[in-house]
Structure 1
C-alpha cells in the first residue's frame, strides 16, 4: 500500500483529499478570526494567501462530488468567512472613524467629490 502526502497545491482527486482541503479551509478561517481579533497583519495576510490557495484547489471540484459531510463543512466555512468579513468591515469602519476624528474633518474627499461633480455640471451646461 502506497501512502501519498498531499501538497498544498495538489489537485483534489479523492474524497479524502476533499475532506482534508475543507478541514484546512476551516482551520485557516479560524486562524484568520484569531488574527483579526489580535490585529496581526502578518497573520491576516498569511491567512489570505492560504484561503486563496485552498480556493484554487476547491474550484475544480464538481458540486456532485460533495457528500453530506462536505456540504456541512462548506456551509460552516461559508458562515465563518462571512463572520470574518463582518469583523474586517468593522475594523475598517473603526479606522476610518479614527482617521476622521484625527483630522477633525470627516470625509473630506467625499465633500470635495460633490464640489467636483457640481463644477462639472455647471461647466457642461455652459458649453
Structure 2
C-alpha cells in the first residue's frame, strides 16, 4: 500500500491521469485485501506501516483537493462562469428579505 500511495503522489505531482487512475484501482484492490485481514493478525510493524499509509493517503487527498480547486478556478477564469459554490452572500441577502 505504501508503494501504491507513493506512486499516486508521483502521478499527482506529474498530473498523469492514467497513473492516477491506476493508483486508485490498486488502492481499491489493496483495501479489499486489507479488509479481509483481522486486526488480531497484525503485528506492531504492520500497524506502523498502516498508520504511515493512512498519513500518506491524507497528504495525497489534500493534494488532490488543491489540484481540483486550481482546475476549477482556471476553468471559471476561462469561461467567465459563476462560482457555483459561493452562495453564502446571496442566501444571506435573500433570507433578510423574507
TM-score bucket (shorter structure): 0.7 to 0.9
User: Cα 1:48–1:104, aligned 2, differ >3 Å: closer, same or farther?
Assistant: same
Q: Does 1:66 align with 2:42?
A: yes
Q: Indicate the residue corresponding to 2:70 in structure 1.
A: 94
Q: Residue 31 of structure 1: CA displacement?
A: 0.3
- Structure 1 runs not aligned, ≥5 long: 1-24, 119-127
In the TM superposition, what whole-angstrom CA distance separates every residue of 1:21-45 from its partner, at most 9, and x where no partner exists? xxxx000000000000000000000
Q: Indicate the residue corresponding to 1:31 in structure 2.
A: 7
- Structure 2 runs not aligned, ≥5 long: none
Q: Residue 106 of structure 1: CA displacement?
A: 2.9
Q: Indicate the residue corresponding to 1:125 in structure 2.
A: none
Q: Residue 74 of structure 1: CA displacement?
A: 0.4
The RMSD of aligned alpha carbons is 1.9
Q: Residue 109 of structure 1: CA displacement?
A: 7.4
In the TM superposition, what whole-angstrom CA distance separates every residue of 1:62-106 from its partner, at most 9, and x where no partner exists? 111111000100000000000000000000000011111112233
Q: Is the radius of gyration larger for structure 1 or structure 2?
A: 1
4+ aligned runs moved over 6 Å, structure 1: none
Where is the helix percentage greater, Structure 1 or Structure 2?
Answer: 2
The normalised TM-score by structure 1 is: 0.65
Q: Aligned equivalents of 1:98 and 1:90: distance in 2?
A: 12
The normalised TM-score by structure 2 is: 0.83
User: What SS does the aligned partner of 1:59 have?
Assistant: helix
- The count of residues paired between Structure 1 and Structure 2 equals 91
